[in-house]
Chain A
Amino acid sequence: MTTVAERKKKTVRMNGCVASAQAAKYADVDVIAAYPIRPYTATMMALAQMVANGELDAEYIVADSEHSQLSIAHGASSSGARVFTGSSGVGVQFAYELYSPISGSRMPVQMMIADRTLDPPGDFGSEHTDALSTRDMGWLMGWSCDAQEAFDNHLMGYRIGEDRRVLLPQMVCQDGFFVSHITSDVELPDPGQVNEFLPPYKHPYPLDPRHPVSHGPQIMPEQGPPLQLERARAMEESMAVIEEVHDEFAKIFGRRYDPWVEEFMTDDADVVFFLQGAHAVTARFAIQHMRDRGLKVGLVRLRTIRPYPTDRVKEVLSKFKVVGVIETNMGLGSVSSGGVLYAEACAALYESAQRPLVFSFMAGMGGEAIVLKEFYWMTEKMMEVQRRGKIEKRTHWVGFEE
């Protein structure tokens, strides 16, 4: 026997962009700030149509830039509206000024990001550098690896960010093309389930003429640190809320995600890949393939990078002998001279009594798919490191070496 809620659920085939738009609709957002840039644009196209059709009652604003998009989102969220915005690539960076003011004023703006390589030279493909460059600005941040997860992360993002214990903005990221433009089945919930899960947005101190407040006045140097500390604590304390919300989500919608890391075939693995986002889908397939040939390889996918689950990453990665970080981002002149994820993995492991050997791969760059033979090549490198017991090179550019 099916319940009423289950009867109203429906499974529809859609891409990540449309799944994000659907999530915004289910969240009954009040203000949408749009500006076109590929590949995230399709989300705003879908929302524009929903507003035009009368399916969603929201102010749909075509902004004059990404800077304005984020400012509109900031103003609307400050007034008490639930806000949705988004961007890709250099667009994410054009708005950079606003990221700290939004998290600093504790406005739970939600931003959808479909990653795009930064210029030069105008590549449409996915690299995570756009969003990752803002990772320390006080936004909750994590990657989805398919359209269903994107839909779910948007709903969970609002619930977490708007929680009075958190009040922080969220970047809900998905890889451009691999998630944003590839269709898969998405289960759309019954609106009643969403109502149960996501209460209406109510900021404690909105810009309301009946209760005048001042947002963001000038401070003296000694007044700054307490506010920064509060923001830092909110980020830290959000971790408990994130776990709580994932539990609640599983109860209401029946899909359970580990909020921090997904482990795939790691039980007896010696070597594992550590990555974020859509390449996990191909990695799972490749790992299955290699397992059939007896290679003891697994996958650890980071689902939330801010707040960074340091203890969890330490605990999980300490189980293995070798960790190969797949970056898919640029960290020019970084710790590993590769991407930025390597340093995050290593820092978490520093306090571990059983540190694996960690090195990194520049793979999936420019929006290229990571193909099976590349997974084999990388696995071979990891096994070589395991055999020798030491790292030759911190970073390998996959496809550029023998």
Chain B
Amino acid sequence: MATIEVQRQLLPILNSPNQGARFYNPELPSSEPFVPGHRTCAGCGPSIQYRMTSKAAGDNTILVGPTGCMYVANSSYLCTPYNVPWAHTQIGSAGSFTAGVAAAYEAMIRKGKWKGAYPNIICEAGDGSASDIGLASISGALYRNHDCLIICYDNEQYANTGIQASSRTPYGGMTTFSPPGPLVPEGKKLYPKDLARMMAAGHPHCYVATASVGYPIDLMNKVRKGLNHKGAAYLMVYTPCQKGFVYETPRSIDLGRLVVECGLYPIWEWHPEKRAFDYSFRPQNMRPVPEYLKLQGRFGHLHAEHIANLQKFANEQWRMMGVELPEALIQAADAKNLINMASAAEAAAVAETV
């Protein structure tokens, strides 16, 4: 059988000393695969992420959208915001549908049925899809190493359905499925599934990384590294949700920084060639977790002991990154040194607004 060699794209890595730079970057392509006109909320973290990642990918791209906010709020019939091909798939089909697209292009190019460079194939799965119902399908796609990038836009909850807890919802996070009450003062009792690490550990041949909308250049470079990697790549991106987190809409990018500076969202890369984690990313500052928590209504009900638990969790993350902990953060993990976020009545009032 005569076969045609599949040509792949190679996207340049952006050189910027400041990975969190928010200013105009002339190296970025002017094309906009994701355009305005969709129905996402003001300040929507996932849609900010969507614009950055699709811009980094460029026009020879196919997007796959399992059910979630980036399907429902984005894609209205006859008025979708995608300038590249996009397809909806079921919430549990994130990895499998994407694998089908990738396999189709491998076969069609090889058999001469489609001519051109292999497209960037990107799946935009919410954390509900990625950590719960679509986990097996994504693991399957990573395991089989289809040439594609699977992004988990992590807003730490099922937001589209009206703020329900997912496996990524943090400890203490209030959702409509994890409300605080006299018997459950902290709301969510479980800690988030360590999803990206699970993907790296289980699929070591894949490029795996975490990122945050607070660091756009870093995010876009990771998208390009994932796409340049021949085979499957997985990227988990912190994307705050103002509706579910209950914060002022202009603070999305700030939260994207604070979550990293507070040690609650470690930013790292897994290099498949070296079979090693790269923990060299360092935020400009290190802060205690209340700096992050206090901006969000979803944590408004937490007591000192719960905040201390979150600080302990953050401190473990810093240690995992190889960072020596300053005394202040060790102190902050002791409930004696903390105060409650709000009274129960105030927390209940916030809960009413969700």
Chain A residues in the interface with B (C-beta under 8 A): 30-31, 33, 54, 57-59, 61-65, 67-69, 71-81, 83, 97-98, 101, 105, 200, 206-220, 223
Chain B residue nearest in CB terms to A202: B113
Whether B140 contacts A81 by the Cβ 8 Å rule is no
Q: List 25 A-B contacts (CB under 8 A).
A: A30-B107, A30-B113, A31-B104, A57-B1, A61-B100, A64-B136, A64-B137, A72-B96, A72-B99, A73-B100, A75-B98, A76-B103, A76-B104, A79-B62, A79-B101, A98-B90, A101-B89, A200-B113, A207-B86, A207-B87, A209-B59, A209-B84, A212-B82, A217-B80, A220-B76
Question: In the complex, which residues of chain B have a beta carbon less than 8 angstroms from the beta carbon of A80?
Answer: 104, 108, 113-114
Question: In the complex, which residues of chain A have a beta carbon less than 8 angstroms from the beta carbon of B110?
Answer: 57
Give the contacts of B79-93 with A (CB-CB under 8 A): 80, 82-90, 92-93
* Known contacts A76-B100, A209-B85; A71 and B144 CB within 8 A of each other: no
Task: Confirm or deny: B105 has a beta carbon within 8 angstroms of a beta carbon on chain A.
Answer: yes
Question: In the complex, which residues of chain A have a beta carbon less than 8 angstroms from the beta carbon of B78?
Answer: 217, 223
Whether B86 contacts A214 by the Cβ 8 Å rule is yes
Cα(A72)–Cα(B104), bound, Å: 9
Give the contacts of B225-273 with A (CB-CB under 8 A): none
Question: In the complex, which residues of chain A have a beta carbon less than 8 angstroms from the beta carbon of B140?
Answer: 63-65, 68
Whether A57 contacts B137 by the Cβ 8 Å rule is no
Residue in B59, B76, B95, B103 whose beta carbon sits within 8 Å of that of A31 in the complex:
B103
Cα(A152)–Cα(B72), bound, Å: 42
Task: Confirm or deny: B77 has a beta carbon within 8 angstroms of a beta carbon on chain A.
Answer: yes
* Known contacts A57-B1, A58-B107, A71-B89; A218 and B100 CB within 8 A of each other: no
Task: Confirm or deny: B119 has a beta carbon within 8 angstroms of a beta carbon on chain A.
Answer: yes
| Chain B positions 186 through 209: 1 when the CB is less than 8 Å from some CB of chain A, otherwise 0 | 000000000000000000000000
Question: In the complex, which residues of chain B have a beta carbon less than 8 angstroms from the beta carbon of A31?
Answer: 100, 103-104, 107
Question: In the complex, which residues of chain B have a beta carbon less than 8 angstroms from the beta carbon of A215?
Answer: 85-88
Question: In the complex, which residues of chain B have a beta carbon less than 8 angstroms from the beta carbon of A83?
Answer: 100, 104
Residue in B77, B98, B107 whose beta carbon sits within 8 Å of that of A223 in the complex:
B77
Task: Confirm or deny: B178 has a beta carbon within 8 angstroms of a beta carbon on chain A.
Answer: no
| Chain B positions 94 through 132: 1 when the CB is less than 8 Å from some CB of chain A, otherwise 0 | 011111110111111011011010010000000000000
Task: Confirm or deny: B61 has a beta carbon within 8 angstroms of a beta carbon on chain A.
Answer: yes
Whether A71 contacts B101 by the Cβ 8 Å rule is no
Whether A81 contacts B104 by the Cβ 8 Å rule is yes
Whether B80 contacts A75 by the Cβ 8 Å rule is no
Whether B96 contacts A75 by the Cβ 8 Å rule is yes
Residue in B80, B101, B116, B119 whose beta carbon sits within 8 Å of that of A76 in the complex:
B101
New A-B pairs, 17, CB < 8 Å, besides A78-B87, A98-B93, A210-B116: A61-B103, A68-B99, A68-B137, A71-B137, A72-B96, A72-B97, A74-B89, A75-B101, A76-B100, A78-B101, A79-B100, A207-B101, A209-B62, A214-B80, A215-B85, A217-B80, A218-B75
Cα(A111)–Cα(B110), bound, Å: 24
Chain B residue nearest in CB terms to A101: B90
Question: In the complex, which residues of chain A have a beta carbon less than 8 angstroms from the beta carbon of B104?
Answer: 30-31, 59, 75-81, 83
Question: In the complex, which residues of chain A have a beta carbon less than 8 angstroms from the beta carbon of B62?
Answer: 79, 207, 209
CB distance from B46 to the nearest CB of A (A): 15
CB distance from A332 to the nearest CB of B (A): 27
CB distance from B38 to the nearest CB of A (A): 10
Whether A97 contacts B84 by the Cβ 8 Å rule is no
Residue in A69, A74, A105, A219 whose beta carbon sits within 8 Å of that of B77 in the complex:
A219
Question: In the complex, which residues of chain B have a beta carbon less than 8 angstroms from the beta carbon of A208?
Answer: 85, 114
Whether B97 contacts A74 by the Cβ 8 Å rule is yes
Question: In the complex, which residues of chain B have a beta carbon less than 8 angstroms from the beta carbon of A97?
Answer: 90, 92
CB distance from A151 to the nearest CB of B (A): 22
Give the contacts of B142-185 with A (CB-CB under 8 A): 143-144
Whether B76 contacts A67 by the Cβ 8 Å rule is no
Whether A209 contacts B119 by the Cβ 8 Å rule is yes
* Known contacts A77-B100, A81-B108, A214-B75; A61 and B113 CB within 8 A of each other: no
Chain B residue nearest in CB terms to A205: B85
Whether A59 contacts B106 by the Cβ 8 Å rule is yes
Question: In the complex, which residues of chain B have a beta carbon less than 8 angstroms from the beta carbon of A54?
Answer: 1
Task: Confirm or deny: B340 has a beta carbon within 8 angstroms of a beta carbon on chain A.
Answer: no
Task: Confirm or deny: B210 has a beta carbon within 8 angstroms of a beta carbon on chain A.
Answer: no
Cα(A97)–Cα(B89), bound, Å: 11
Question: In the complex, which residues of chain B have a beta carbon less than 8 angstroms from the beta carbon of A209?
Answer: 59-62, 84-85, 116, 119
Cα(A101)–Cα(B71), bound, Å: 15
Cα(A92)–Cα(B329), bound, Å: 54
Task: Confirm or deny: B64 has a beta carbon within 8 angstroms of a beta carbon on chain A.
Answer: yes
* Known contacts A57-B3, A80-B104; A68 and B87 CB within 8 A of each other: no
Whether A65 contacts B136 by the Cβ 8 Å rule is yes
Name which of A30, A206, A217, A223 has the most chain B CB atoms within 10 A of its CB: A217
Name which of A72, A78, A97 has the most chain B CB atoms within 10 A of its CB: A72
Question: In the complex, which residues of chain B have a beta carbon less than 8 angstroms from the beta carbon of A78?
Answer: 87, 97, 100-101, 104
Cα(A355)–Cα(B97), bound, Å: 48
Chain A residue nearest in CB terms to B97: A75
Cα(A209)–Cα(B106), bound, Å: 15
Complex A-B, nearest 8 residue pairs according to Cβ-Cβ distance, in ascending order? A75-B100, A216-B88, A64-B140, A71-B96, A71-B93, A81-B104, A79-B104, A68-B96
Residue in A57, A59, A68, A218 whose beta carbon sits within 8 Å of that of B93 in the complex:
A68
Question: In the complex, which residues of chain B have a beta carbon less than 8 angstroms from the beta carbon of A81?
Answer: 100, 103-104, 107-108, 113
Question: In the complex, which residues of chain A have a beta carbon less than 8 angstroms from the beta carbon of B119?
Answer: 209
Chain A residue nearest in CB terms to B75: A217
Task: Confirm or deny: B311 has a beta carbon within 8 angstroms of a beta carbon on chain A.
Answer: no
CB distance from A83 to the nearest CB of B (A): 8
Cα(A101)–Cα(B92), bound, Å: 13
CB distance from A366 to the nearest CB of B (A): 31
Whether B108 contacts A79 by the Cβ 8 Å rule is yes
Task: Confirm or deny: B49 has a beta carbon within 8 angstroms of a beta carbon on chain A.
Answer: no
